[in-house]
Structure 1
Amino acid sequence: MFSISNILALQAIFWGCTALYFSSDHQRTFTQSMPKALGNTLFVATIVLAAFLLGMQYNAWAMIFSTITMIIFNLALVTFTGAHENRPLRLLTYGTGVNVVLALIGGVYVA
């Protein structure tokens, strides 16, 4: 069953991973990376938000497993897409679209 909180949780994880990627010195999307402190703070804040949203629906172990799995998936997605796509809007659109589709087809229920 699809839920708005699932979409919000997956989007929060994606945006946090994107902030972490944009604060890296190795990113090629922007000429200058965002400050590391800002990227790390946004990453931690969005992961806590996603864990809270998922924790309202699932038990602790399922929430932890889903959060870690989605962090790994989104870091890989942002890194691989960012290496081939130099336009930030397309990178954000691809990631947002993939995560919405994943939430709609039940990607959170793997745990």
Structure 2
Amino acid sequence: MNKQVDLKNKRVIASTHVKLGEKNRMDQTYTDVNDIFYNSELTPSFMTGSEVIREAIKRASVGTSVAYPITPQSEAAALIGEIYAEGYLDEYFRGESEFAVMGQC
């Protein structure tokens, strides 16, 4: 299922603010995103949209998340709160209104 691609001519993204191989505060290792896209094993799994958002925030090592829990994003906001409790986020703000969220951004 994996397809080997010549990475010399294909660069999806290049990070300039972190060194590859270093670890972040959650002991995750910074790696070249091209390895993830082209060389990692692909394992099919079913995830809801909210679970995809949770995993994306967790794997991206973001420091802050701002959310407004309104349907249909209520589940996503709750899952983001869980990863905040696990220590993957430094700050998490749940706004009371759209204006509160825009003010935080």
Normalised by the length of structure 1, the TM-score is 0.25
Higher relative contact order (CA 8 A, sep 6+): 1
Structure that is richer in strand per residue: 2
TM normalised by structure 2 equals 0.26
